[in-house]
Amino acid sequence: MKSSGSTSEQSRIYNERIILQLVRQKPGLSRGYIAQQTGLSAQTISVITGSLLERGLVKVDGKVRGRRGQPSVQLSLNHQGAYGLGINVDRDRISAVLLDFSGHCVLSLEKQVSFPTEQTAKEIALALIADVKARLQEDWVKVQGVGLAKPDYMDAWLDSLVTDAVQRTDLEGLQAELTYWQSDAFESWLSEQTGLPCYKENDAIAAATSELLFGAKTPRKHFFYLFVSIACGGSIVADGECYSGAHGKAGSFGLLPTATGKHGRWILEALSISSLKRFFAGHDLPWPTVAAQWQHPKCQQLVDQWCQEVAFEIQPALSAVIALYDPEAIVIGGRLPSSVLPQLIDAVQTCLAQQSVLPVPDIGPAYADETAVTLGAAVLPLYETFAPQRELLLLASSQTLKP
């Protein structure tokens, strides 16, 4: 089998990204510090940092005088040097987030819509993009791309997931319209409308990416992200990166069968906001619309019952995840009401402890709130454009710092 090494251009790009990563992690560093951390020559560092300064990706924060010679400049990331735009198309809303180069959320927008069709999604997306352009004005040229996050199988399991009374009267018609989401047409349309590259991931992977980059101060390198929304899914993070598998379907937790089928044959049906809404309706209790209503004793009792039952339904699948992947943690995020999530975590922890032979990893809430998916989508163009990746080098140069 023939292998090819890296070109000088690949090495230059990779070294540039390594330097950007260092500047991001340690603002105010000097070229000397970069040399110590990377082993790159002073000339290489000077050329690369000069290019980054010229392109406005880094800035000079000041100078530090050493023991001898000329003072060294302090380099920091220019937060306004680049932007990432993220769009999340979910089964009940479309949202957008604009991140600056530091990962700070500059703008967050959202529009509620139940199972958006092509025309509805395009109208909402155009309005959101217009709002972002109005905010950035001439800085729109600094947007590196559009990250698109959406659930897989938008047109499937409608009988379980659709709760809108009007849409339920014609599920076949709705399914026909939703087949649009099986293709990459919306991704291509976004590129055409913005003039930018579009990077697509499913919602669970986007949320896990957000957790990976914005989560704990000491990031976990091996965890399983369980994403709960109108349906649910999962993502495997291995060695600090989302693992997609041979066909991009690794971590498809929602497609595993439930233990008994009481809340749906598949986990995506049982562990979902749709499932909880069906449970409330089945017990003649209206869906809470304000935080205080979730604290009502009858509501708390129903939530606890649902959590216990769903934890039992997903326990065999989670035990399989633990046995096959051995994660250091299971992170549960998404869009469950904030008062429901702790009860679900307790129920899952208890059920696993009772049934699993292997040690149960830490189970806890995700760092980001329900914006995690859109944040993760907005990170995609910045990550693809600026983050050091192994794929940039097929054969590591002796001059290049390994990730």
Query: Are 162 and 257 in the same domain?
Result: no
- Name the E strands within 102-231: 105-112, 143-150, 198-202, 223-228
Query: Are 44 and 132 in the same domain?
Result: no
Q: Residue 306: which of 344, 269, 338 has the closest Cα?
A: 344
Q: Which of the listed residues 78, 104, 136 is the one where a domain comes to its end?
A: 78
CA distance 90 to 330: 23
Q: Which domain holds residue 325?
A: 217-366
Q: Is residue 36 part of a domain?
A: yes
Query: Are 173 and 279 in the same domain?
Result: no
CATH of the domain at 291: 3.30.420.40
Q: Is residue 60 part of a domain?
A: yes
Please count the structural domains in the chain: 3
Query: Are 99 and 57 in the same domain?
Result: no
Query: Are 55 and 88 in the same domain?
Result: no
Query: Along the 403 residues of the chain, how does pLDDT read in single tens digits?
Result: 343 334 567 788 888 888 888 888 788 888 888 888 888 888 888 899 999 999 999 998 866 555 555 557 888 889 999 999 999 999 999 999 999 988 899 999 999 999 999 999 999 999 999 999 999 999 999 999 999 999 999 999 999 999 989 999 999 999 999 999 999 999 999 999 999 999 999 999 999 988 887 776 666 889 999 999 999 999 999 988 889 899 989 999 999 999 999 999 999 999 999 999 999 999 999 999 998 999 999 999 999 999 999 999 999 999 999 999 999 999 999 999 999 999 999 999 999 999 888 999 999 999 877 888 999 999 999 888 887 664 433 333 333 333 3
Query: Are 40 and 93 in the same domain?
Result: no
Query: Are 196 and 227 in the same domain?
Result: no
**Contacts for 31-38: CB closer than 8 Å, 24+ residues apart:** 31/72, 31/73, 31/75, 32/66, 32/72, 37/401, 38/400, 38/401
Q: Is residue 117 part of a domain?
A: yes
Query: Are 88 and 187 in the same domain?
Result: yes
Query: Are 106 and 191 in the same domain?
Result: yes
Query: Are 44 and 93 in the same domain?
Result: no
Query: Are 224 and 194 in the same domain?
Result: no
Q: Is residue 399 part of a domain?
A: no
Q: List the Cα angle 321/326/327 in 5-degree steps.
A: 90
Q: What is the per-residue DSSP string for 238-253?
A: ETTEEE--TTS-TT-G
CA distance 83 to 105: 10
